[in-house]
Amino acid sequence: MISVTHLSKKIGEVQALNDLSFTAQDGHITGLLGPNGAGKTTCLRTLFGLLKPDEGIAEVDGINVAEKPIEAKQQLGLFPDPFGLYERLTPREYIQFFAELSGMSAKNAKQATENVIAQLNLGDISDRRCKGFSQGQRMKTALAQAIVHQPTNIILDEPTRGLDVMSTRLLRDILLDLKARGHCVLFSSHVMQEVAALCDHVIVMANGQVVATGSPDELCQQTGETSLEEAFIKLIGTDEGIAA
């Protein structure tokens, strides 16, 4: 479970997070939906311990990220940019390297790498260098790196950005599988269709604050609209930076 409580963060002159509170449950896919500049990335970076909040608490499975960053990160997987893989490594080398970085012994990291290669069906490419990989192959390798240490919680910042349709569909299936396995999946997006199709729970953000929460259906009911897109526009007052 991931929770943020009264989180505030000023970056330069900008109040990027302004008393932000929400919870993302295990066995659910939670979407952070907001226009450009809403504070989604700042929130996720704070959860991963890359930024220190001015006020408030970010917790992963009840562990305060600012106080115990190493313990918190052991329960957290961060989906990296699939276009930033080390081209000279094979997925097996790449995944094992990150497993060891997360604190596993070489023996355990090797076993965990085998497990995640099987889980994500990476067997046929696991010993090829990443250079020249398709988008789907890159995406699966990046995701394998994020989950190799079996974190309960997985966070993804606009994970489908730049991915083609097939890779996007593949990623959706994998996220649904992670949810079915009881993981807490939290991702940011400004793609309405993706959020409506995947999320059990949506946190609508603007100006560093929560504007509304609920399932896509509940958000429609709250606003008296029939589509999430219309509900969002009613809640935020604009569709700037949002993709259908």
Residues in the site for ligand ATP, rule: CB under 6 A? 11-12, 14, 16, 34, 36-42, 190
Element (H, E) at 73: helix 69-74
Question: How many CA atoms does the CB half-sphere of 222 hold within 13 Å?
Answer: 17
In terms of CB distance, is 36 or 62 closer to ligand ATP? 36
In terms of CB distance, is 179 or 190 closer to ligand ATP? 190
Question: Shortest Cβ distance from residue 50 to ligand ATP (Å)?
Answer: 11
In terms of CB distance, is 9 or 149 closer to ligand ATP? 9
Rounded to whole angstroms, how far apart are CA atoms 13 and 197?
36
Question: Shortest Cβ distance from residue 176 to ligand ATP (Å)?
Answer: 24
Question: Shortest Cβ distance from residue 156 to ligand ATP (Å)?
Answer: 12
Rounded to whole angstroms, how far apart are CA atoms 145 and 166?
20
- DSSP-derived secondary structure letter, 137: H
Strands (E) across 27-152 are located at: 29-33, 55-60, 63-64, 76-78
3-state SS assignment for residue 164: coil
Question: Shortest Cβ distance from residue 211 to ligand ATP (Å)?
Answer: 12
In terms of CB distance, is 37 or 69 closer to ligand ATP? 37
Question: Shortest Cβ distance from residue 53 to ligand ATP (Å)?
Answer: 13
Which of 7, 1, 2, 71 has its CA nearest to residue 205? Answer: 7
Q: What is the dihedral of CA 78, 25, 23, 196, to 10 degrees?
A: 80
In terms of CB distance, is 13 or 173 closer to ligand ATP? 13
